[in-house]
Structure 1
Amino acid sequence: MAERRRFLLLAFVFVLLTSSESAKILTVVLLGGSHFLLFDEISHLFHESGHDVNMLLQIGNPRIKGLNYTARNNSYRMTSWSASEEYLSSYNEWFLEMQKLFLQGRDDLNIFLDFMGHLALQCEWIMGDTDLMNSLKSEEFDIAVIDAFNPCSFLVAEKLSLRFVAVHVGNFWNGHQFGLPTPLSYVPMHRSLLTDRMEFWGRLKNSMMFLSSFVVERMIQARFEKAIKTCFPAGSEPNLSELYLKAELSIYNSDFTLEFPRPLLPNVVCVGGLLSKPARPVSQELEDFILTAGENGFVVVTLGSMLCSVNLPTVLKEMNTAFSQLPQVVIWRHVRGHWPSDVHLAPNIKLVDWLPQNDLLGHPKARLLVTHGGFNSLMEAVYHRVPVIGIPLFGDQFDNMVRAEAKGLGLTIQVNQLQARDLSAAMAKVIGDKRYKASALALSRIHRSHPFPPQQYLVRWVEHILHLGGGDHLRPYGLQLPWYQQYLIDVILFLLAVLSMVMYIIIKILRSAMGCLRRAGKVKAA
């Protein structure tokens, strides 16, 4: 009977996914690494659901070139664009230096603004490529699905006059910029390193960071002003702040299994866990290596696609020493050709240029994930019930690890404080303390118990927008109001003015009454 119900459910899901009319969808991802991996999955899901999908992909930068991964064959189409070789050479050199700074714990605002400056320059070239833009316009797409991290994605959609769905590849980073209600008493700001349980000083810090975020956002948007003025007709230049609120849907690669509860709007959809899947068998080479540790199992180590080829001996030496003290074997994603020659690799470590992370975490002998704290990695760890050690390096990884720690999934070590002794002790604690495994099991149960898998949730919501011709019915009218009306500043000022006037009148009456009483007293005394 249970098998029959399962079959009927699968049949029902299949009918849902294939019943809608085919649409032409443009997916826009101008970054590599986890951004590309997520959009590759999204594009494939829409293709599998019967839609005609074309991905606009920027290639030639190290974040894609470094991936031992290619888009699926016989799936969606791809339109690629690349900057000149001369620019890419200088950009790649700059980006490599930035990665080294990340591994030294030096991730600051200036680096981020420089990065946005590069994205803005690339954006100007992309939108200025007349052949590319005309080719995309001629396809007459029904909707665009864009990477919301890169402001250029919004500008490309506007340039092509397309309605769009914005995909936020990480957590609710600066959600208030995109219209989300953000009660500062329990919704921590980006990089605040706060949880949702704040005392007074935490709420004060959160409020200050909220105010400063508007200054930072203005600095980011200033980097794109030249691209906007150059590529749009005078008098019709778009405003990025307004484009952020124009999305038919805002899709967040987040999940309340790890995220702190917060208020959302009707046009917000959470699909965290898109890359998490049942594990497939690993290669025989990896299986043989895992067997050498017996019941001790193995540890998976990956600091993301961007940092797997960075040669920084001081950090790699400390990590290598820490791993050498484990009874487990270690499968570490790091390009062997970039391993420092003066660091002798521990015998229990296997370096691989690329690893099947989802499949390894789903292996019954996986004991721990050492990660940079990317949300996709954390959700795969949750899905497969594996505790984590986080070494956050940049972006939202610091906030992600705050959430992972708060949920009991693991521990965090700051890279600028990374020492073999501390890393070894932290790994031994997380592997040996059953509470971390119990938390991983509990979080996995929550995540897997969602009514619908994230893949289905994503496709059906976008098809809902396509079927209705837009998402106006989901967008609050308040998003069209100026900020002083949204936050009732005008009402508050009016009430303060009325209160001030009432207080002024009361004081004048009291002073007048007191004057009359004093005069009456003087008359009686006389």
Structure 2
Amino acid sequence: MAGGRECLIPVLLLVLHVLCPQGVKILTICFMGGSHYLLMDDVSRILQDNGHEVRMFRQIGKGLLPGYELPSSPYAVTSYTMDKEYLKDNEEFFKKWQEEMFSGRAGIQIFLDVMDVFEKECQVHMNQTDILDFLKQEKYDIAIINTFNPCTFFICKKLGLPYIAISSGGFFSSFAIGLPNPPSYVPAFPSHLTDQMSFLERLKNTYMYFGPYMVERTQEAMFKNILERHFPDSRPTLHDFYQEAELWIFNTDFSIEFARPLLPNVQCIGGLRAKPANPVSQDIEDFIAESGEFGFIVVSLGSMISSIGKKDLLMEMNSAFANIPQKVIWRYKTSQWPEDVKLAPNVRLMDWVKQNDLLGHPKIRLLVTHGGLNSLTEAVYHGVPALGIPLFGDHFGNLARIKAKFMGEYIPPNEIKSENFADAIRNIVGNKSYKTSAMKQRAILRSRPFPPDKQLVGWVEHIIQSGGGGHLKPYSYQQPWYQQYLLDVILFISACLAVIIYFIVKVIRLLIYLMSSNRKQKQN
């Protein structure tokens, strides 16, 4: 649905490169907290360090990164916060959301509830007139957006900017951007299957194949009023926004993912946050040293989860830790620990952990994780087995892949008991094959021809220098759905076969009639 203005974008990008080949103005947009923000912060820093002028447009508020102190930023930042009443309501929603996740009820409806929150936020984002006017006057050359919140697409459209889309999760949006998804060996997003499926599993996978498509349609209906209000002339759809991206970057790697078909406008550069470890602080080193040969494990259920609101789950985990020989460093907000629960003697609580540095420590034995891609990629980078507690979204599929690669196991939160949780830890730590598999995946990740930061910079600069990503997009983006799936060809061939069969039947009937007539004449 590109108009005249959109047609000028490739030309403007190319002219810009000729006039200013050393650096361009890049706007990064992130309306999410937690690992989504940390990833976009890395993206912004890398591009800034490579000679580009970067500004991040972000929303801030309570719960962005609980326990984490934002370091000074080398790039410019434009931010705003929602009003106190909204923040209070959002905090209540987040508490209920956590209760649902820790109870094992994090299905599609929870995802849609999150989208409903985003839709309300987007109404505010789109009305930040002063900020949007300022960003428009700055004349940025391209935007790089975190796509989990669809509103980032709308902001780019409002500013008239071409954009590169970064997916911080798995291939959930693969259906929308036209990636081939053969259900015979590519697991559907909500299926939690592997690439090696039995007949019944392939039957299930085929049934769930259209799940992401239906979710996209529901999302689109939720944001319909915003689209109609702010884009009354072009009336774009969410599907249009997905396909208008100059490039799609997925925060994953095939050391974790199953091999699958991609398109030229899709690149996987997982591992931006996985780096060589720095030494830990002396007090942590002293705590780890007390573990002797048993080593230690790290427990972190995501950058946004600083505590566990479900007390029975907390007690089961704490009891399990008390029955293992390893030391435990648990990322947990100390002020929210229940006073009537005695902390296991081998556990140390920390409001925030430098997870990458801990995973690079020689005495690390295991990562207990929610299954986010940033955490799993760091575990792969350092060759550390994982025990997953999937909570939401892509966590289940990510951990299913980790289990399939024999790098770890996972237990849904509603199934955790002290005994089975402690047994799972002992099994993974004691079975050397998990460590061997983790080291194999580490070799795959680390031996890539180009590190992820170089890939990021190279692809962004390629899009700028080539005047956009049109040359990477398949023609299928312009085809109607019936042509794309060859339904017109199938219909034509079917019609031809029907006509041929019709005439064959007619000829056979005529021959039978003639033969029977001749027989009757002879008998007479």
* Fold equivalence (TM over 0.5): yes
1:346-401 per-position Cα deviation (integer Å, ceiling 9, x unaligned): 00000000000000000000010000011111110111111110110101000000
Q: 2:105 corresponds to which letter in structure 1?
A: R
Note if contact 1:124-1:227 (Cα within 8 Å) is conserved in structure 2.
yes
TM-score when normalising by structure 2: 0.94
What are the equivalent positions in structure 2 for 1:56-67 lying under 5 Å apart?
56-62=57-63, 64-67=64-67
Rounded to whole Å, the distance in 2 between the matches of 1:271 and 1:61 is 30
Name the counterpart of 1:115.
114
Rounded to whole Å, the distance in 1 between the matches of 2:257 and 2:82 is 37
Rounded to whole Å, the distance in 2 between the matches of 1:223 and 1:444 is 41
Name the counterpart of 1:335.
333
1:20-45 per-position Cα deviation (integer Å, ceiling 9, x unaligned): 52100010111110100000000000
Does residue 208 (structure 1) correspond to residue 207 (structure 2)? The answer is: yes
SS for the counterpart of 2:196 is coil
Indicate the larger mover: 252-261 or 335-344.
Answer: 335-344
Shift of 1:255: 0.2
Name the counterpart of 1:251.
249
SS for the counterpart of 2:423 is helix
Note if contact 1:124-1:231 (Cα within 8 Å) is conserved in structure 2.
no
Name the counterpart of 1:432.
430
Indicate the larger mover: 117-126 or 367-376.
Answer: 117-126
Name the counterpart of 2:12.
none
Indicate the larger mover: 511-520 or 459-468.
Answer: 511-520
Q: 2:34 corresponds to which letter in structure 1?
A: G
Q: 1:74 to 1:402 in 2, by over 3 A?
A: closer
Shift of 1:61: 4.5
Shift of 1:494: 1.4
Note if contact 1:313-1:343 (Cα within 8 Å) is conserved in structure 2.
no
Name the counterpart of 1:283.
281
Q: Percent identity?
A: 48
Q: 2:66 corresponds to which letter in structure 1?
A: G
Name the counterpart of 1:68.
68
Rounded to whole Å, the distance in 2 between the matches of 1:426 and 1:476 is 46
Q: 2:264 corresponds to which letter in structure 1?
A: P
Higher relative contact order (CA 8 A, sep 6+): 2
Note if contact 1:20-1:463 (Cα within 8 Å) is conserved in structure 2.
no
Note if contact 1:228-1:238 (Cα within 8 Å) is conserved in structure 2.
yes
**Count of matched residue positions in the alignment of Structure 1 and Structure 2:** 505
What are the equivalent positions in structure 2 for 1:404-443 lying under 5 Å apart?
404-443=402-441
Shift of 1:99: 0.7
Note if contact 1:301-1:371 (Cα within 8 Å) is conserved in structure 2.
yes
Note if contact 1:81-1:126 (Cα within 8 Å) is conserved in structure 2.
no
Q: 2:191 corresponds to which letter in structure 1?
A: S
Q: 1:66 corresponds to which letter in structure 2?
A: P
Shift of 1:69: 3.3
Indicate the larger mover: 405-414 or 36-45.
Answer: 405-414
Name the counterpart of 1:48.
49
Name the counterpart of 1:99.
98
Shift of 1:174: 3.6
Shift of 1:67: 4.5
Aligned partner (choices 345, 351, 362) of residue 364 of structure 1: 362
Rounded to whole Å, the distance in 1 between the matches of 2:366 and 2:96 is 30
TM-score when normalising by structure 1: 0.94
Rounded to whole Å, the distance in 2 between the matches of 1:474 and 1:384 is 34
Name the counterpart of 2:135.
136
Rounded to whole Å, the distance in 1 between the matches of 2:364 and 2:113 is 39
Name the counterpart of 2:163.
164
SS for the counterpart of 2:22 is coil
SS for the counterpart of 1:27 is strand
Shift of 1:265: 0.8
Name the counterpart of 2:493.
495
SS for the counterpart of 1:100 is helix
Rounded to whole Å, the distance in 1 between the matches of 2:352 and 2:454 is 28
Note if contact 2:98-2:309 (Cα within 8 Å) is conserved in structure 1.
no
Rounded to whole Å, the distance in 1 between the matches of 2:190 and 2:157 is 30
Name the counterpart of 2:8.
none
Q: 2:102 corresponds to which letter in structure 1?
A: L
Shift of 1:269: 1.2
Name the counterpart of 1:8.
none
Shift of 1:131: 1.1
Rounded to whole Å, the distance in 2 between the matches of 1:305 and 1:103 is 16
Note if contact 1:121-1:227 (Cα within 8 Å) is conserved in structure 2.
no
Name the counterpart of 1:35.
36
| Unaligned ranges ≥5, structure 2 | 1-19
What are the equivalent positions in structure 2 for 1:512-523 lying under 5 Å apart?
512-523=510-521
Name the counterpart of 1:384.
382
Q: 2:310 corresponds to which letter in structure 1?
A: L
Note if contact 2:190-2:211 (Cα within 8 Å) is conserved in structure 1.
no
Rounded to whole Å, the distance in 2 between the matches of 1:486 and 1:333 is 49
Q: 1:69 to 1:518 in 2, by over 3 A?
A: farther
Does residue 351 (structure 1) correspond to residue 349 (structure 2)? The answer is: yes
Q: 1:39 corresponds to which letter in structure 2?
A: M
Shift of 1:74: 4.7
SS for the counterpart of 1:215 is helix
Note if contact 2:183-2:206 (Cα within 8 Å) is conserved in structure 1.
yes
Q: 2:494 corresponds to which letter in structure 1?
A: L
**Aligned Cα RMSD in Å?**
1.3
Note if contact 2:386-2:407 (Cα within 8 Å) is conserved in structure 1.
yes
Q: 1:65 to 1:378 in 2, by over 3 A?
A: closer
